[in-house]
Amino acid sequence: MKRKKTTHIVIHTAAWPGDPDIEDIRRVHVDENGWSAVGYHYLIRKDGSIEKGRPEGNVGAHCRNGGMNRKAIGICCSGHGDITAFTVQQVETLCSLVNVLRRRNSIDIAHVIGHREAGAAKTCPGTKVDMDELRIDIDEQNILGISRAELKDFNTIEEQIAFVEQKIT
């Protein structure tokens, strides 16, 4: 089912020690949960590469709270956010991907949220992930091309889009 409008981006952790790939996530979501497909739209691996899940324009299965499945793109970072923070490569890619999606869908930084911020009774994206700091990094990268995490500097929007596209496998 297609999403009518994208108003939010929800950040998740796989809550899985190690570096699961999209096929690992799909097996859990489809074989164990009985869903029709992987619930997230994107998975960011520890090396910063991006793997596609559900088609971006489709309703997700990643956050029922607040009706987010119908209005949000779900991005999952591999690893376990309660055990370790996202890697620098994950944060760099996450900031760039989120900013590309924000521009494409006119999403305000306030609508980039962690799963727990949607009201889920979980710590997702993890206790080691400070969503306020992450939003600052995302917003600074979007506005200035830099962040406190010393993320990749982009001179143009086209450079940032190209960076994201080359990360997608």
User: Which residue in 8, 12, 71, 167 is the catalytic one?
Assistant: 12
- Whether 46 sits among the annotated catalytic residues: the reply is no
User: Which residue in 46, 111, 122, 128 is the catalytic one?
Assistant: 122
Alpha helices (H) along 65-124: 68-71, 88-105
Give the orientation angle of helix 88-105 with respect to helix 157-167, to 10 degrees. Answer: 120
Calculate the alpha carbon distances from 73 to 60, 112, 149, 167 in Å.
Answer: 7, 10, 24, 18
Is 65 exposed, middle or buried (CB count within 10 Å of its CB: 0-12, 13-18, 19+)?
Answer: middle
- Whether 115 sits among the annotated catalytic residues: the reply is yes
- Whether 42 sits among the annotated catalytic residues: the reply is no
User: Which residue in 8, 29, 40, 62 is the catalytic one?
Assistant: 40
- Whether 40 sits among the annotated catalytic residues: the reply is yes
- Whether 95 sits among the annotated catalytic residues: the reply is no
Element (H, E) at 162: helix 157-167
User: Which residue in 63, 80, 124, 167 is the catalytic one?
Assistant: 124
Catalytic residues: 12, 40, 115, 122, 124
